[in-house]
Homo-oligomer: A and B are copies of this chain.
Amino acid sequence: MKKDKPKYRQIIDAAVVVIAENGYHQAQVSKIAKQAGVADGTIYLYFKNKEDILISLFQDKMGHFIERIEEQIAGKERAVEKLLVMVESHFTMLSQDRHLAIVTQLELRQSNKELRLKINEVLKGYLSLVDKILVEGKENGEFSGNLETRLARQMIFGTMDEVVTTWVMNDQKYDLPSLAPSVHQLLISGCKAD
Interface set of A (CB-CB < 8 Å, partner B): 23-25, 106-107, 109-113, 116-117, 120, 148, 151-152, 154-155, 157-163, 166, 169, 179, 182-183, 185-187, 189-194
Smallest Cβ distance from A124 to chain B, in angstroms? Answer: 12
Q: When the two chains form their complex, are residues B151 and A155 in contact, meaning their CB atoms are under 8 A apart?
A: no
Q: Which residues of B contact A116 (CB under 8 A)?
A: 106
Interface of chain A, main secondary structure: helix
Q: Which residues of B contact A162 (CB under 8 A)?
A: 154-155, 157-158, 161
Known: A158-B161, A158-B162. A113 touches B194 (CB 8 A): no
Q: When the two chains form their complex, are residues A155 and B186 in contact, meaning their CB atoms are under 8 A apart?
A: yes
Smallest Cβ distance from A178 to chain B, in angstroms? Answer: 11
Smallest Cβ distance from A182 to chain B, in angstroms? Answer: 5
Q: Which residues of B contact A159 (CB under 8 A)?
A: 154-155, 158-159
**CB closest chain-B residue, reference A153:** B162
Q: Which residues of B contact A148 (CB under 8 A)?
A: 182
The listed residue (B23, B155, B169, B192) touching A193 by CB distance below 8 A is B192
